[in-house]
Every structure is written in C-alpha cells, then in structure tokens.
C-alpha cells in the first residue's frame, strides 16, 4: 500500500504544480509551459523530479530552468501522504486527510509565489470540506 500511496502522491504533486502554474494566470488548467516564453514543456519536463533526473530541466526554447519549486512540491506530495498513512492507515481518515493536505499544498504554493488565494480554488474546496465534514 505505501508504494501506491507514494505513486498517487507523486501524480498529485504533478497536478499541484500544473495548477499552481496555470490558475493564477488563466483561472483554468493548462498544459505545462515555460513561465518565461510560454513554450510547451517536453513530456519528461511535466514532472519536476523527472525533469531534473533526465536532464530536461531547462526550456528547449529560451533555456530558462524549471526551478526548484516543482521537485520540492512533488517530493513533499510523495513523503507527506506516507507520513499520514503511518499515522492513521484507516482509509476513512487517510484519504480525506490526504486530499485536504494536497489542497493546502496548492494554496501554500500559489500564495507564496503569487501572493494570491484564488476564489476558483477556495469555493470548490469549501464545498468539498463541508460535504466531507458532514459525514
């Protein structure tokens, strides 16, 4: 189970990075692109960890590096769910905690980089939290 949780955390980390890059600009999910020139990233550079491990951590068009935020977010999204799982492995506790912590990771990243807390992020999360909290 920890391997599955780590993989789900990794995929969620990629999603958090994609949302943190696109939501402040366009308020919708877009494909990963260079923040300087807007060129689409290579498929291996969609993940910050894979980008650094494969050597694709710079833009093919303008040579701007991906940055350290992406691999840090992905590593956090892998490690934190494992900590949550070892604290409380019950699925009824773990999965809501996992989703809530990944939401907070997204809010922290967007707030730290852009000094924004987006309405498009908070309203759906408030609805989900209200539903989960009422169960």
Query: Pseudo-torsion of CA 92, 120, 16, 78, nearest 10°?
Result: -20
Mean pLDDT value across residues 12-22: 91
| Other Cβ atoms within 10 Å of 49 Cβ, number | 18
Residue 109 pLDDT greater than 80, yes or no = yes
Query: If DSSP codes are grouped into helix, strand and coil, which group holds residue 33?
Result: strand
pLDDT at position 103: 92
* pLDDT tens figures, 30-55: 777 877 887 888 877 888 899 889 88
Mean pLDDT calculated for residue range 102-128: 87
pLDDT greater than 90 at residue 60: no
Given pLDDT bands bounded at 50, 70 and 90, which one contains residue 128? confident
79 vs 120, more confident: 79
Residue that is written with structure tokens 């922290």 in the block = 108
C-alpha span between 112 and 105 (Å, rounded): 10
Of residues 25 and 71, which shows the higher confidence score?
71
* Nearest C-alpha neighbor of 64 from the set 36, 101, 33: 36
Neighbouring CB atoms inside 10 A of 131's CB total 9
Mean pLDDT of 128-132: 83
Task: Indicate the range of 42-46, 60-64, 111-115 predicted with least confidence.
Answer: 42-46
pLDDT reading at 123 higher than 80: yes
At 37 the pLDDT is 82
């Amino acid at each position: 189970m920890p391997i599955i949780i780590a993989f789900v955390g990794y995929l969620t980390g990629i999603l958090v990075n994609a949302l943190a890059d696109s939501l402040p600009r366009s308020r919708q999910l877009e494909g990963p692109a260079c923040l300087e020139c807007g060129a689409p990233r290579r498929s291996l550079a969609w993940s910050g960890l894979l980008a650094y491990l494969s050597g694709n951590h710079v833009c093919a068009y303008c040579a701007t590096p991906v940055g350290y935020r992406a691999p840090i977010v992905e590593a956090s999204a892998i490690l934190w769910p494992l900590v949550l799982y070892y604290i409380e492995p019950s699925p009824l506790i773990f999965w809501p905690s996992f989703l809530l912590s990944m939401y907070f990771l997204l809010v922290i990243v967007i707030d730290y980089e852009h000094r924004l807390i987006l309405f498009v992020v908070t309203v759906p999360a408030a609805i989900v939290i209200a539903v989960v909290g009422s169960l």
